[in-house]
Structure 1
């Protein structure tokens, strides 16, 4: 059984007992979260597609922590001009354990 869920504007394919790194969410470590924007549910070949969401369905999870993604290096250079700029960025993420799909 799996579901496609909209979490903070991004779509994730989730199954039960799976870890998902979603964009940063409100809540503390150990808090439970509920996602009501379920776009599709597949239950052993029985597919329910929402228009735009599946009515009466939800995915619940538990926040395991707030982490940072790997560093992305942004390097800009213009040749022969002596112009070089190096920046880095680490995106804030929330680690969520998917508990139930219903």
Structure 2
């Protein structure tokens, strides 16, 4: 089984070839191919390579499938007996990526 752990947007994701995952927003048009070069760990067949902190020469090639915003999260502040209420909504932008291939 081939997989890798990549860091993007301040988070780490385990990726497998062919899967689609949502990450923090990355600039680019839908259909564009991007290269994630901050690979922390890669396993190709039986060989496991661990970076310190990243693997040199390793990369994950992905295609941007979607640029959108996630569902609305409501933030409600309330203080009893003080007539204080504040409602605020937030939609976090994301980028959906399809993993094409993993190079180590």
Partner of 1:98: 99
Task: Give CA-to-partner distance per residue, 1:28-85, whole Å, 9 cap, x none.
Answer: 0100000110000122342111011111110000001201111111000001101011
Q: Give the TM-score of the pair, scaled to structure 1.
A: 0.95
Q: Give the TM-score of the pair, scaled to structure 2.
A: 0.93
Partner of 1:11: 12
Partner of 2:86: 85
1:29 aligns with 2:30: yes
Unaligned 5+ runs, structure 1: none
Partner of 1:61: 62
Unaligned 5+ runs, structure 2: none
SS at match of 2:35: strand
